Amino acid sequence: MSSTSDPIVIIGGNGKTGARVNARLQALGYSTRPVSRSTTPAFDWDNPETWRAVLKGTRAAYVTYQPDLAVPRAESAIKAFVQMAIENGLEQVVLLSGRGEEGAQRAEEILKASSISWNIVRASWFFQNFSESFMLEGILAGELVLPAGATVEPFIDADDIADVVVASLTEPGHRDKVYEVTGPRALTFAQCAEEISATLGRPVKYTSIPVDQFMDALKEEGVPEDMQWLLHELFTVVFDGRNSEVMPGVQEALGRPARDFKTYVQNTVESGVWSPVMQKACG
Q: Is residue 110 one of the residues assigned to a domain?
A: yes
Model confidence, pTM: 0.94
Q: Is residue 21 one of the residues assigned to a domain?
A: yes
Peptide bond into 41 cis (omega under 30): yes
Neighbours of 248 (CB within 10 A): 14
pLDDT at 282 over 80: no
* pLDDT digits 0-9 by tens, 232-257: 988 888 888 999 999 999 999 999 99
* H-run or E-run covering 121: strand 117-123
CB 165 within 8 A of CB 62: yes
Measured CA to CA, the distance from residue 149 to residue 10 in angstroms comes to 35
Q: Is residue 199 one of the residues assigned to a domain?
A: no
pLDDT score for 227: 87
* CATH code: domain of residue 103: 3.40.50.720
User: Can you give the residue range of the structural domain that contains 69?
Assistant: 8-126+156-182+244-259
Q: Is residue 169 one of the residues assigned to a domain?
A: yes
If one counts the domains in the chain, the total is 1
pLDDT score for 283: 52
Q: Is residue 254 one of the residues assigned to a domain?
A: yes
Q: Is residue 2 one of the residues assigned to a domain?
A: no
* pLDDT digits 0-9 by tens, 20-79: 999 999 999 999 999 999 999 999 999 999 999 999 999 999 999 999 999 889 999 999
CB hemisphere CA count around 60 (13 angstroms) = 25
Measured CA to CA, the distance from residue 88 to residue 96 in angstroms comes to 21
Q: Is residue 53 one of the residues assigned to a domain?
A: yes
More confident residue, 24 or 281: 24
